[in-house]
Amino acid sequence: MFYQEVAAQTATTSGGAASDAGSFGNQQTRTVKRDVEKRVTSASIPVTVIPPRIGGVLPPNAEQMSFTVSEIQVTGSSVYNAGDLAQILRAHEGRVNTLGEVYGLAEKLAEKYRADGYAFTKVTVPGQYVGDRSLKIEVEEFRIGAVDFDLEGRTVETPNALRASVEKLLANGPARTSALEAVVAAARDLPEYQVATTRARSMGDGALRVTAFLLRRGAAGLAIQPVLGEDRSKAEPDTRRFRLERVSVTGVTAIDDGAIAKLYSGLIGTEVAVSQAHDLADRIAGLYTEAGYYGVRSEVPPQVIRDGALTIEITELGIDSVAAFLNGDAVPDGGLIDNIVNAVTERKPLRVADIERQIFLLRQVPGLFVESVIPPDGDGEAKVYLRRKPWTFITAMDNRGTPEAGSYQVGFLIQENGQLGFDEQIQLYGLVTTQVKELQFLGGTVVVPLTSSGLVGAVTFGNNVARPTGYLASSDIRATGSYVTADLTYPIFANAKLSTLLTAGFDLNNSSSSALDGAITASDERSRTVRFGTLTTLTDDIGGLSTLELEYTHGIDGLGARPTGDQVNTRPGMRLNGSKVSFEVTREQQLPQKFKLSLAAEGQYAFSALPAAQVFTFGGVSYGRAYDSGILSGDHGIAAKAQLSRPIPLGNPYIPLIEPYVFYDIGQSWSESSDASASAASTGLGTRFFFGIGVGGSVELDVPLTHLPTFDPSKTSKDPRIFFLLFAQF
């Protein structure tokens, strides 16, 4: 499974043994990093990432992004218990939901609060991983923390007749509109004043400051009532009208006054409904949205309109500081995460692109997940809540090997996130066959963010030893290989829809093989290369996620590089300083009825014959799934694949979800030293299954269509093959 090719014939002489060993060593060099590492590190419970909702705007693919929800947890509610909300939640549990439906569920819960008089309560879906099929919804209830009275623009003392009502209002728990209405009702007995309208503003820490606007009895004026969460255009009946003489728009710094004036100039001198005033505020907010600004509020505040003067308040979001919390604890001042989140304080008013870039940079920190972004609540300080799992352990077993290289193989991964204080991620992974001598592989990766602007460095290493059995046993082959890669990435563009990373890297690959218990050294190749490329990711409005990776690789004839030492070069025309260009493009498309179509293609073109570590391969878990790893190889190549899948919730506590799929893949390779080419195609079907305890796996039936599936010359049929995977994640 882990090798590109195995000798075409069984060795019967020392020359044949050397040929087999040389091929086997090259196979190992080409495939161990691509195949073994990918298999070991990718066996995990699949998770759906629900991003934090920025500025109340749905992600572009909210109606296509789907995931299974087994249970829903509502936290923060003191008003309702689980039974009170069960009917609403049950309609979304045990089935596949779109992200749009999840946000709609939060709105349904908010509507229940409003219908019961809790108009100030917020219901949100925080950013989260839906890996265990459990969805979290947060409720934030507000209490009345202070009550002020305003008379003609001046703050006045609480009227004596209202003190008892105000004290009762302050003593209550979650704020209800009925409590405010009680204050208004008590004001009816005031001989001199009446409460025209009220306004509630956040004080922070879950408290509201309520301002009651008093109007002298008999005084002229139209009171605009507060909007408590409902559609603002429907908050006032159209029968409440006034003659508009002038409009005062306060708080504007980012939008041209003339652009705002165009919105209301045609209304001056006419009779307008209060609902039209709210509509005007919405249209002003639209100007900010079109200009890309984040978190701007445009509202008609509660007021008493006299002489046709309307006030519209604009609150542009300016962030003075950002407090970041990781797993509930404040992050250190001046550290990487603190510097990333506080970069937004340099831009006022804040644009959506600014915050999207910083969230992207946070996601570049290994293992870090953004749960929620809370705008300033009157004090200029925003809050970002992050989560990071310190440790992950995965073990897996499959039968993707071959009789020569071990059919049954067991792997493990240990991952550490940020425990050394550098926001690093360290992975250690390994793989052995059930007969340990056939294959032993150990590798690791260290990823470290280097700057708060997004520069990330990574080092990957691996070492493997193999002693093939089966039809190669008589050649007594021993093959070893090692590699080290160093990579840098930097984002040149990043927002919610599009991101582009610049990449650069250096590779060091060593491989050798011997036959007849070391009597013959068949190959001893060392190659060094540098790489430069880009990785672009696009999320579009039709439910698709696309990636495009482009890379140029150039060999170095130095730094210890050499072909095969004193042995005959096994790849005619090979140049250590050869170069190539390569690409990979992928597309994940959500379809109706919860289906998902996955498309991908990759290829490379070489400008000369390449070292074994740089050739193109087809076969294995990525492309050519019905074939042994590397059944095709060459300097040039192209491959493509397509898969259709659909998650099916079973409602079973032991196997809550399965995901059947069908696939097709095809590939072709050719080399500089020959005009001949080789191609292969396969198809198959299978299902993934996931248990509720961090255990999962898959089983699939793969059919080789156009090429023999293995390197063993004694196996000449294209019979279907059954592969399985079992894994556990902790």
SS (H, E, C) 681-693: EEEEEEEEEECCC
Mean pLDDT of the chain: 84
What is the per-residue pLDDT for 711? 82
Across 172-198, b (16+ Cβ under 10 Å) vs e yields eebbbbebbebbbebbeeeeebbbbbb
Residues of the chain with CATH 3.10.20.310: 49-140, 143-315
Instruction: Decide if 409 contacts 395 (C-beta within 8 A).
Output: no
Q: Which range is least confidently modeled, 449-453, 502-506, 543-547?
A: 543-547
Q: Which CATH number fits domain 49-140: 3.20.20.60, 3.40.50.1370, 3.40.640.10, 3.10.20.310?
A: 3.10.20.310
Q: Which range is least confidently modeled, 206-215, 385-394, 584-593, 636-645?
A: 206-215
Give the number of residues written for the chain: 730
Q: What's the average model confidence in pLDDT over 30-52?
A: 58
Is residue 129 predicted with pLDDT exceeding 90?
no
What is the per-residue pLDDT for 3? 27
Q: What's the average model confidence in pLDDT over 35-50?
A: 58
The DSSP string of 55-84 is: TTBPPTTTTT-EEEESEEEEES-SS--HHH
- Distances 372 to 108, 124, 382, 386, 658 between C-alpha atoms, Å: 20, 10, 11, 7, 30
Q: What is the spatial distance between Cα 69 and Cα 89, in angstroms, rounded to a whole number?
A: 11
What is the per-residue pLDDT for 10? 28
What is the per-residue pLDDT for 39? 58
What is the per-residue pLDDT for 722? 95
In this structure, the number of other CB atoms found within 10 A of the CB of residue 160 comes to 8
Is residue 165 predicted with pLDDT exceeding 70?
yes
Q: What's the average model confidence in pLDDT over 617-638?
A: 92
709: Cβ–Cβ under 8 A, 6 or more apart, which residues?
A: 626, 627, 628, 631, 715, 718, 721
Is residue 366 predicted with pLDDT exceeding 70?
yes
Q: What's the average model confidence in pLDDT over 708-725?
A: 87
What is the per-residue pLDDT for 45? 55
Q: What's the average model confidence in pLDDT over 403-408?
A: 76
| pTM, 2 dp | 0.77
Q: What's the average model confidence in pLDDT over 432-452?
A: 89
What dihedral do alpha carbons 350, 351, 355, 357 form, nearest 10°?
-130
* Residue 714 backbone dihedrals phi, psi, to 5 degrees: -80, -10
Whose CA is closest to 519, among 18, 7, 19?
18
Task: Give, rounded to a whole angstrom, the gap between the first and last alpha carbons of the chain.
Answer: 27
- Which run of H or of E encompasses 193? strand 193-204
Sign of the Cα pseudo-torsion (591, 596, 597, 598, in order): positive
Q: Which range is least confidently modeled, 153-157, 331-335, 434-438?
A: 434-438
Whose CA is closest to 724, among 394, 410, 393, 405?
410
468: Cβ–Cβ under 8 A, 6 or more apart, which residues?
A: 6, 24, 404, 405, 438, 477, 479
- Distances 478 to 30, 112, 214, 603 between C-alpha atoms, Å: 16, 70, 92, 31
Structure tokens at 500: 């582009």
* Residue 520 backbone dihedrals phi, psi, to 5 degrees: -125, 125
Q: What is the spatial distance between Cα 181 and Cα 587, in angstroms, rounded to a whole number?
A: 55
Q: What's the average model confidence in pLDDT over 520-542?
A: 88
Is residue 230 predicted with pLDDT exceeding 80?
no
Q: What is the spatial distance between Cα 517 and Cα 95, in angstroms, rounded to a whole number?
A: 58
- Distances 74 to 101, 133, 494 between C-alpha atoms, Å: 16, 14, 33
Q: Which CATH number fits domain 143-315: 1.10.287.110, 3.40.1130.10, 3.10.20.310, 3.40.50.850?
A: 3.10.20.310
Q: What's the average model confidence in pLDDT over 310-323?
A: 91
What is the per-residue pLDDT for 52? 63
